[in-house]
């Protein structure tokens, strides 16, 4: 009998010991708690700064045509070697106020590339926006210090031109982004994290991609790539296996649990913008003269609007087509020509597809009343 109890005791100890080594995991998915959005208060700009004189860099400049006779390079090292000398690093300084209203200097890093040997550098608008000083370093060791007077930029497409007083620079070969295919190898070259020129390979994962940056800015005809694009890469070239520039790296989405997706503005859509920045100094577009904000249910409730969708007018510029047509702050545009408008970006896209001088009709809500207005689009004024 003692022997039986001894055997039972040993088995009990074995079972308990095994149980101690069992790891129990529980994963309970709790629904996200919806946090009511605090409606953004549309703001009207304060005193406008004085309009600066905009001058063209070179009114006779013509964009280089895509090259189609470049030999295919055998590997990525050859691609980088061919394109490396055309890439520049950009360091910026701007003056900002701290929490105690003291002026402090804030530095930033970006990239660019040589479009023309006469000293025309391409980068992103957000790299140089607000910069008081711009330091450019070339692959051969030369440096150039400029400021905002050296820059022509277009915030809407996130493109900018920097003119430097240097010549015989190594200009990049321009490719044809319409010939790109998903799965094709490309290389992003730039200045990630301000560490100097680096190259990272990847493939094209999407073409003709659209990306909304905020309520007023959306980018179109983007190239999506798996090549790593980090802060500081912005403005650098995306090159194909011939070493030709097919895109301008501009933005990156990186979320927890999601592999980073890099984006570049296609060179075919960028070149007309760059052409006008060089020959005119700024981009002309159809001009309505309003600032807009997307309406949703919370915005409609907060401001007592008569509709819960559309593009709310937050500011009307004096003497603009909208002002002459009688539009006011908090009017909500719900239709442009015959197209329904649900968001501010939709209205901006419709406006961009119109022509300067075209007469258009908008339908809008003022309180509970539906109203229409006709107006003739004018040419956008120079940037301030």
Taken in order 65, 70, 76, 77, the sign of the CA dihedral is: negative
Catalytic residue, chosen from 111, 116, 126, 154, is 126
Catalytic residue, chosen from 111, 158, 177, 250, is 158
Residue 18 annotated in active site: no
Q: Please give the Cα distance from 71 to 58 (Å, whole number).
A: 31
Residue 158 annotated in active site: yes
Chain centroid to CA 38: how far? 25
Catalytic residue, chosen from 177, 218, 234, 250, is 234
The secondary structure of residue 102, as a DSSP letter, is -
Residue positions counted in the chain: 384
Cβ atoms of 337 and 288 within 8 Å: the answer is no
Q: What angle do CA 359, 362, 367 make, to 5 degrees?
A: 150
Q: At CB < 8 A and 24+ separation, what contacts does 146-149 make?
A: none
Q: Please give the Cα distance from 36 to 297 (Å, whole number).
A: 11
Rg over CA atoms, the chain: 28
User: Hunting for tokens 């002002």 — which residue is that?
Assistant: 323
**HEC sequence for 273-302:** HHHHHHHCCCCCCEECCEEEEECCHHHHHH
Regarding beta strands 120-123 and 159-163, do their DSSP bridges make them parallel or antiparallel, or are they unpaired? antiparallel
Residue 338 annotated in active site: no
Q: Catalytic positions, please?
A: 126, 158, 234
């Amino acid at each position: 009998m003692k022997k039986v109890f001894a055997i039972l005791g040993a088995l009990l100890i074995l079972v308990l010991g095994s149980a101690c080594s069992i790891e129990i995991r529980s994963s309970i998915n709790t629904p996200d708690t919806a946090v009511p959005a605090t409606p953004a208060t549309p703001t009207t700009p304060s005193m406008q700064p004085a309009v600066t004189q905009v001058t063209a860099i070179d009114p006779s400049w013509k964009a280089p045509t895509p090259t189609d006779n470049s030999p295919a390079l055998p590997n990525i090292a050859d691609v980088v070697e061919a394109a490396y000398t055309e890439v520049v690093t950009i360091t910026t300084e701007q003056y900002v106020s701290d929490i105690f209203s003291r002026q402090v200097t804030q530095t930033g890093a970006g990239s660019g590339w040589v479009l023309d040997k006469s000293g025309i550098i391409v980068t992103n608008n957000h790299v140089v926006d607000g910069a008081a000083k711009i330091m450019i370093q070339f692959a051969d060791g030369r440096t150039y210090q400029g400021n905002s007077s050296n820059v022509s930029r277009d915030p809407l497409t996130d493109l900018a031109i920097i003119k430097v007083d240097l010549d015989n620079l190594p200009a990049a070969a321009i490719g044809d982004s319409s010939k790109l295919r998903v799965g094709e190898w490309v290389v992003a070259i730039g200045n990630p994290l301000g560490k100097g020129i680096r190259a990272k390979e990847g493939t094209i994962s999407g073409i003709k991609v659209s990306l909304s940056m905020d309520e007023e800015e959306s980018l179109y005809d983007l190239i999506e790539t798996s090549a790593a694009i980090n802060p500081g890469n912005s403005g650098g070239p995306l090159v194909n296996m011939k070493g030709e520039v097919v895109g301008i790296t501009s933005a990156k989405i990186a979320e927890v649990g999601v592999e980073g997706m890099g984006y570049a503005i296609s060179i075919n859509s960028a070149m007309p913008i760059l052409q006008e920045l060089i020959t005119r100094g700024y981009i002309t577009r159809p001009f309505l003269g309003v600032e807009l904000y997307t309406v949703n249910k919370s915005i409609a409730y907060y401001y007592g609007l008569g509709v819960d969708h559309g593009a709310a007018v937050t500011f009307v510029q004096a003497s603009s087509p909208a002002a002459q047509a009688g539009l006011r702050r908090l009017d909500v545009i719900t239709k442009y020509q015959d197209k329904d408008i649900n968001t501010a970006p939709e209205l901006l896209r419709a406006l961009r597809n119109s022509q300067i001088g075209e007469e258009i009709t908008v339908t809008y809500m003022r309180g509970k009343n539906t109203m229409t207005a006709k107006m003739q689009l004018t040419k956008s004024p120079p940037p301030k």
